[in-house]
Amino acid sequence: MNVAVLISGRGSNLGALIAAGRRGDLGPARIAVVVSNRADADGLRVAQADGVDTLVIPHGDYPSREAYDAALVEALRKRDVRLVCLAGFMRLVSAVLCDAFPNAVLNIHPSLLPAFPGAGAQRQALEHGARVTGATVHFVTPELDAGPIVCQEVVPVTDTDTVETLSARILAVEHRLYPHAVRLVAEGGWRIAGRRVVRTTIAD
């Protein structure tokens, strides 16, 4: 299964996915291309260092979000992509992308959705006095952080946490959780029930 990873910045989760693929931990999934809307994204160099094909599609070249997503879809279909992973892709995606890849666009978010959606989730958790937060991998829909949940992992919030310390612990969890979710989705044996992804077969 060819996978595209969409990025805008440093490529931290991209690096974790590439490393997992190198270890054989993504199951049938293979990272076929990394696409960035920014030519200066550090994640492009992360991909290139591992021999992964890269592509830059600047969002400023398109008059609307839908036009940009249509260009993305065209580029991904040319590469026979079946699964799309957002990894620090700093753009809301439209129905154009979601409809082209139904139940096949994943995102990772630094909270236990539906708590603390959108930007600054770690700060939101601290400001609300949450005792636990975490990371969530979910399918993407045009509504922000509202798609069916594939998997989650809890991260405790300590009394001495800052945004930086909490973010660092959540990121370590993301690096484990995202490859696990990609493998789960790629291997099949699941269905969507409401806002939850339910396993229909038990992996060996």
41: pLDDT strictly greater than 70: yes
Neighbours of 197 (CB within 10 A): 21
The pLDDT value recorded for residue 133 is: 98
Q: What is the mean pLDDT of residues 57-86?
A: 97
Q: Are the C-beta atoms of residues 125 and 162 closer than 8 Å to each other? A: no
* Domain parsing of the chain, residue ranges: 2-199
Active-site choice (59, 109, 138, 175): 109
Q: Are the C-beta atoms of residues 139 and 184 closer than 8 Å to each other? A: no
204: pLDDT strictly greater than 60: no
pLDDT band at 146 (very low <50, low <70, confident <90, very high): very high
The pLDDT value recorded for residue 202 is: 60
Q: What is the mean pLDDT of residues 25-48?
A: 97
Report the percent of the chain where pLDDT is more than 70.
99
CATH superfamily, with its number, for domain 2-199: Formyl transferase, N-terminal domain (3.40.50.170)
Residue 104 and residue 97: Cα distance in Å, rounded? 10
Report the percent of the chain where pLDDT is more than 90.
95
Q: Is 175 one of the annotated active-site residues of the chain? A: no
> Could you tell me whether strands 81-86 and 105-109 are parallel, antiparallel, or unpaired per DSSP bridges?
parallel
Give yes or no for a cis peptide into 114 (omega within 30° of 0).
Answer: yes
29: pLDDT strictly greater than 80: yes
Give the H or E element holding residue 191. strand 190-193
105: pLDDT strictly greater than 60: yes
Q: What is the mean pLDDT of residues 1-17?
A: 97
